[in-house]
């Protein structure tokens, strides 16, 4: 539970705001019934039910985007209904809703929800005792929304920047090892669900340390960026490239196996042989390739590709080695025992 809250920002926001809403609204719902205001009590209870249901849906399905939208709509328009029923006291409920909308949905959607809620409150008009009060409330509500928009927009930009720094290799611009771990888990799950084949390629530049030692790290960096450019221009959009560490990269190839996989790998090898250069001459690479086995763990899959790469390096470099060709076939799935 705490792991999900720590790693899922939107779920943590939904949970925090949902609990705050339940704690804040429940006493007033009880008070409405005690005062005999059944309509307001039913509205408050409906809002509480909507918030609780939305939170449960987010936890069960992980669909936080849809949940956030529903909660923003329920809270904002619920505040409009409450204000129309109870008058002045209900107006104050819309202010926190105007702010929380920006935490539950994107800034543009939040602006639309807020402005429409303010307009609805003005059109109904039952919550206001005078025109002056209505326009004063509307003006302050718009100011609150504008301030919340600026804060949310800035926060959203900073969070995207932090996510990019955490998942993108700054030198080459491709995804880093952290992203690779997540994508391999997704690939393994998708393979089990759909039966789509996946190939994993570990690629290591030959004698890269010598390039850095003889020509400097600036030249080495240029070689790495050139390698990435060649790989990205000679692979499909569905293929994914990751920097595994140093001069080692990982290619995730969905939907290829057998003859097609070998054709793809031979083409990549020829492209690198033809175009990869540095001041001392051509640059070559060694490849280790493994197909994902049915029921195989990501750790086993990666280890078999790594062993194939090690064999390629040990047997002369500038070659492609397939895990299945060196006595490392795809593991058989572990049979399940019916309970």
Interval 231-248: pLDDT, tens: 999 999 999 999 998 899
Is residue 251 scored above 90 in pLDDT? yes
CA quadruple 191, 182, 17, 140: dihedral sign: negative
> Which alpha helices (H) appear in 35-176, and where do they start and end?
38-61, 64-86, 88-91, 94-104, 107-124, 131-167
pLDDT in tens, 41-52: 898 899 899 999
**Residue in the structure block whose two tokens are 């042989």:** 273
- Give the burial string for 110-149 (b: 16+ CB within 10 Å, else e): bbebbeebbebbbeeeebbeeeeebeebeeebeebbeebb
Q: Which of 321, 291, 292 minimizes the C-alpha distance to 307?
A: 321
pLDDT in tens, 124-178: 888 888 888 889 989 999 999 998 888 888 877 777 777 777 788 889 989 999 8
Is residue 299 scored above 90 in pLDDT? yes
Average pLDDT over residues 274-296: 92
Cβ neighbours of residue 39 closer than 8 Å, sequence gap 6 or more: 85
Q: Which residue has the higher pLDDT, 85 or 320?
A: 320
Enzyme catalytic residues: 247
φ/ψ of residue 92, rounded to 5: -65, -20
Q: Which residues are 322's β-sheet partners?
A: 289
pLDDT in tens, 170-216: 899 899 998 899 899 999 999 999 999 999 999 999 999 999 999 99
Say what the pLDDT of residue 335 is.
47
Note if the pTM is more than 0.95: no
Distance CA 184, CA 189 (A): 9
Mean pLDDT of the residues in the chain: 88
Say what the pLDDT of residue 336 is.
42
Q: Which residue has the higher pLDDT, 9 or 290?
A: 290
Say what the pLDDT of residue 236 is.
93
CA quadruple 295, 298, 300, 305: dihedral sign: positive
Is residue 334 scored above 50 in pLDDT? no
Say what the pLDDT of residue 82 is.
86
Say what the pLDDT of residue 7 is.
66
pLDDT in tens, 54-78: 999 988 888 888 999 999 999 889 8
Cβ neighbours of residue 326 closer than 8 Å, sequence gap 6 or more: 307, 308, 311
Q: Which residues are 277's β-sheet partners?
A: 282
Say what the pLDDT of residue 1 is.
63
Q: How confident is the model at residue 288 (pLDDT cuts 50, 70, 90)?
A: very high
Average pLDDT over residues 245-261: 93
Say what the pLDDT of residue 330 is.
63
Average pLDDT over residues 316-323: 94
Is residue 285 scored above 50 in pLDDT? yes
Average pLDDT over residues 84-98: 83
Say what the pLDDT of residue 338 is.
39
Say what the pLDDT of residue 258 is.
87
The alpha carbon of residue 196 and the mean position of all alpha carbons in its chain are separated, in whole angstroms, by: 22
Say what the pLDDT of residue 70 is.
92
């Amino acid at each position: 539970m705490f792991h999900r809250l720590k790693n899922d920002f939107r779920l943590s926001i939904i949970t925090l705001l949902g609990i705050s809403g339940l704690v804040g609204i429940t006493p007033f719902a009880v008070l409405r019934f005690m005062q005999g205001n059944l309509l307001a009590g039913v509205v408050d209870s409906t809002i509480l039910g909507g918030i609780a249901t939305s939170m449960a849906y987010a936890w069960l399905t992980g669909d936080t985007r849809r949940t956030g939208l529903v909660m923003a709509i329920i809270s904002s328009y619920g505040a409009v209904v409450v204000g129309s029923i109870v008058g002045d006291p209900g107006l104050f409920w819309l202010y926190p809703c105007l702010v929380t909308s920006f935490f539950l949905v994107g800034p543009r959607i939040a602006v639309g929800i807020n402005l429409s809620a303010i307009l609805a409150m003005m059109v109904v008009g039952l919550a206001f005792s005078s025109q002056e009060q209505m326009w004063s409330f509307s003006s302050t509500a718009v100011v609150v929304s504008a301030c919340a928009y600026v804060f949310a927009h800035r926060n959203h930009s900073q969070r995207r920047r932090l996510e990019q720094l955490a998942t993108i290799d700054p030198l080459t611009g491709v995804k880093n090892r952290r992203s690779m771990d997540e994508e391999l888990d997704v690939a393994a799950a998708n393979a089990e669900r759909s039966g789509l084949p996946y190939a994993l390629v570990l690629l290591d530049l030959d004698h890269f340390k010598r390039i850095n030692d003889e020509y400097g790290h600036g030249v080495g960096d240029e070689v790495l960026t050139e390698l990435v450019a060649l790989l990205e221009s000679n692979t499909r959009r569905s293929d994914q490239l990751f920097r595994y560490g140093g001069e080692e990269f990982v290619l995730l190839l969905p939907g290829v196996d057998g003859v097609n996989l070998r054709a793809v790998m031979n083409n990549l090898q020829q492209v690198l042989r033809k175009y990869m250069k540095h001041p001392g001459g051509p640059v070559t690479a060694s490849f280790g390739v493994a197909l994902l086995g049915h029921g195989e763990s990501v750790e086993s899959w990666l280890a078999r590709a790594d062993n194939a790469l090690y064999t390629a390096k040990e047997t002369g470099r500038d070659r492609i080695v397939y895990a299945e060709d060196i006595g490392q076939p795809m593991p058989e799935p572990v049979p399940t025992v019916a309970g």
